[in-house]
Amino acid sequence: MNAAIRAVTRAAIFNGLEVKGICRGYRGLITNEILEFKSQNVSNIIQMGGTILKTARCKEFTTPEGRKTAYDVMKQQGIDALVVIGGDGSLTGARIFAQEYDVPCIGVPGTIDNDLYGTDSTIGYDTALNTILEAVDKIRDTATSHDRLFFVEVMGRDAGFLALNGAIAAGAEAAIIPEFDTKVDQLEELIKNGFRKSKNSSIVLVAENETRGGAMHYAKRVKNEYPQYDVRVIILGHVQRGGRPTAYDRILASRLGAAAIDALREDQRNVMTGINNDEIVYVPFSKAIKKNKPMKKELVNVLKTLSI
Ligand code: F6P
Nearest Cα residue to atom 13 of ligand 1: 238
List of E strands, 87-244: 105-109, 149-154, 174-176, 202-207, 231-235
Q: What pLDDT is attached to residue 226?
A: 87
Q: Band the pLDDT of 254: cuts 50, 70, 90.
A: very high
Q: Which residues touch 218 (CB under 8 Å, ≥6 apart)? A: 151, 176, 187, 204, 206
pTM for the full model? 0.96
Q: Using pLDDT thresholds of 50, 70 and 90, give the confidence band for residue 213.
A: confident
113 is catalytic: yes
pLDDT digits (tens, 9 = 90+) for 79-104: 999 999 999 999 999 999 999 999 99
Average pLDDT for 252-266: 98
- Please report, as a single letter, which amino acid is at residue 307: S
Distance CA(152)–CA(140), nearest Å, equals 11
C-beta of 157 in contact with ligand 1 (< 6 A): yes
> Which atom of ligand 1 approaches the CA of 159 most closely?
6
Residue of 112, 157, 161 best suited for mutating to test ligand 1, as the one with most atoms within 8 Å of CB: 157
What is the pLDDT averaged over residues 225-236?
93
- Would you state the pLDDT for residue 201? 83
- Mean pLDDT of the 27-31 span: 98
> Position 218: which residue type?
Y
Of 72, 88, 113, 267, which is the active-site residue? 113
Cβ distance 112 to 128 under 8 Å? yes
Calculate ∠ Cα 216-221-227, nearest 5°. Answer: 115
Smallest CA-to-CA distance from 201 within 147, 237, 271, 254 is with: 147
User: Residue 33 pLDDT > 80, yes or no?
Assistant: yes
Which residue's C-alpha comes closest to atom 16 of ligand 1?
238
**Tens digits of residue pLDDT in 55-68:** 999 999 999 999 99
Distance 35 CA to ligand 1 centre (A): 26
299 Cβ contact partners less than 8 Å away, ≥ 6 residues apart: 164, 165, 168
Atom of ligand 1 nearest to the CA of 87: 1
pLDDT tens-digit map of 272-285: 999 999 999 999 99
